Amino acid sequence: MKSSKVIDLLNSEGAILKGTRIMSGGERRYVIHDQWKNEVGQYDRHEMQQFLEGFTEITDSRGRSWNWPQQGIDMRPSSSSLQSWLGDDETM
């Protein structure tokens, strides 16, 4: 299965947070953009997992903080889509 490199992490009638998986310096990184297309962070796998588990938040360019578990399940991608985007289904 080919994994996706771009995903809407949070979507409510349009992407609120969009993630792009990249390779940088031989390591997988996750670049997050907000709905205004501003980059709001780059994260490694551990940092991304911390966000998805609710231990950290991502703040958009307008100052709103997003806590993954507090968002409605209908705003989030499916677990299989998320795992594919994280790259759990492929080797580096």
Assess if residue 87 is contained within a domain.
no
What letters, b where the CB count within 10 A reaches 16 and e where it falls short, cover 35-47?
beeeebbebeeeb
**Number of compact structural domains in the chain:** 1
- Count the alpha carbons within 13 Å of 18 in the hemisphere toward its beta carbon: 13
Determine the pLDDT at residue 3: 52
The better pLDDT of the pair 78, 91 is held by: 78
Assess if residue 22 is contained within a domain.
yes
pLDDT digits (tens, 9 = 90+) for 14-55: 999 999 999 988 889 999 999 999 999 999 999 999 999 999
Asked if 18 and 28 touch (Cβ cutoff 8 Å), the reply is no
Q: How far is CA 62 from CA 36, 55, 57, 59, 65, in A?
A: 9, 21, 14, 8, 9
Determine the pLDDT at residue 62: 98
Determine the pLDDT at residue 90: 58
Q: Which domain holds residue 36?
A: 6-80
Assess if residue 92 is contained within a domain.
no
Assess if residue 86 is contained within a domain.
no
Determine the pLDDT at residue 24: 86
